[in-house]
């Protein structure tokens, strides 16, 4: 008898067929999120769950007494209550690596859009304001040859370094929990303490996971250290930045601008002051949102579940849960 699993979203046919060759699969196929009451009904009795963003906490786990593994279709896993999962011996996996280049593409899109005011000037033309004459009021900032500071040098951070050096001739500074000598030697990146990086960088990119230590990592103090021509880019998790402090920095022109793919509350509320500011570019958490990348992420998540439940050899286990893997 095949193990039963539940998917909280629709998967590509190739991924669905792969899963059905190993499992008794049921999945939620509607575009809106599955209602919580129905979700709890569906996970009662399953051994595995494939999801993206569903909160895996004590309440969820209490509704799934046979659960052995949860496979996250994401590199981030702040939706996992790892302490609760560890207590119950539930394996949690994620999908690192696959989305690195796709997220890097978006980050450079945010950098260019913010520095050259692309979305702002697009609206300027559409509203009929472009009447010719002196264009000084449309000036932006250069990206090439500038200093880039990266906070969190994981796989995506390394991808950013490569493209910024080879494509934009940028000087790269980084701050990370551990130094990366190979990146320093091969790509010329320079390790800096946080305050020094903030003070010297023209572009500051946050690429840290969201943890207790990185919650509101960037706040009022950090904005005060930045240049008034600095641009902040966040494509990690919204709560790594104190959003109220960011709004104040943008409103008072303490920094030049920001490019944001993530927010403290998602979806962003219609009353959020960020929506009325011209010096911020906003995208709706779409870092990995291309057809090919999302398909590959779903496939890896499926393979992670097969490795955990069929082969008893889980792969891509999140750091905090590796200690419960039986070897």
3-state secondary structure of 283: coil
CB 259, CB 114: distance < 8 Å: yes
Sheet strands side by side (includes 257-260): 190-191, 171-175, 147-151, 203-206, 231-234, 257-260, 280-282
d(CA 268, CA 272): 7
Q: Is the peptide bond before 267 cis (omega within 30 degrees of 0)?
A: yes
Place of tokens 């995506």: 156
Active site residues: 237, 266, 285
Residues 6+ apart with CB under 8 A from 214: 208, 237, 240
- What sign has the CA pseudo-torsion 227, 230, 236, 240? positive
Give the closest residue to 76 by CA, choosing from 55, 61, 98, 96.
Answer: 96
């Amino acid at each position: 008898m095949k193990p039963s699993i539940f998917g909280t979203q629709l998967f590509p046919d190739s991924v669905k067929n792969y899963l059905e060759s190993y499992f008794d699969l049921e999945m939620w196929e509607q575009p809106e999120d599955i209602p919580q009451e129905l979700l709890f009904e569906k996970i009662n009795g399953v051994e595995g769950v494939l999801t993206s963003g569903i909160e895996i906490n004590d309440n969820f786990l209490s509704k799934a007494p046979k659960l052995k593994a949860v496979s996250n279709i994401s590199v981030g896993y702040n939706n996992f209550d790892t302490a609760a999962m560890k207590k119950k011996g539930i394996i949690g996996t994620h999908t690192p690596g696959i989305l690195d280049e796709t997220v890097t593409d978006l980050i450079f899109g945010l950098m260019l859009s913010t520095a050259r005011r692309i979305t702002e000037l697009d609206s300027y033309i559409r509203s009929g304001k472009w009447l010719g004459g002196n264009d000084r009021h449309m000036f932006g900032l250069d990206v090439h040859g500038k200093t880039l500071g990266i906070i969190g040098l994981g796989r995506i951070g390394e991808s950013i370094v490569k493209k910024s050096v080879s494509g934009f001739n940028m000087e790269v500074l980084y701050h990370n929990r551990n130094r990366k000598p190979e990146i320093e030697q091969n790509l010329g990146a320079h390790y800096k303490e946080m305050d020094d990086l903030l003070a010297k960088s023209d572009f500051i990119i946050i690429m840290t996971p969201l943890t207790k230590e990185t919650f509101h990592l960037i706040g009022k103090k950090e904005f005060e250290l930045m240049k008034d021509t600095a641009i902040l880019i966040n494509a990690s998790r919204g709560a790594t930045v104190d959003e109220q402090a960011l709004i104040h920095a943008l409103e008072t022109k303490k920094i030049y601008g920001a490019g944001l793919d993530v927010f403290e509350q998602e979806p962003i509320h219609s009353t959020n002051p960020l929506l009325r500011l011209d010096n911020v570019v906003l995208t709706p958490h779409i870092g990995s949102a291309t057809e090919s990348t999302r398909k590959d992420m779903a496939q890896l998540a499926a393979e992670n579940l097969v490795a955990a439940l069929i082969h008893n050899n889980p792969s891509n286990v999140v750091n905090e849960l590796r200690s419960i893997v039986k070897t």
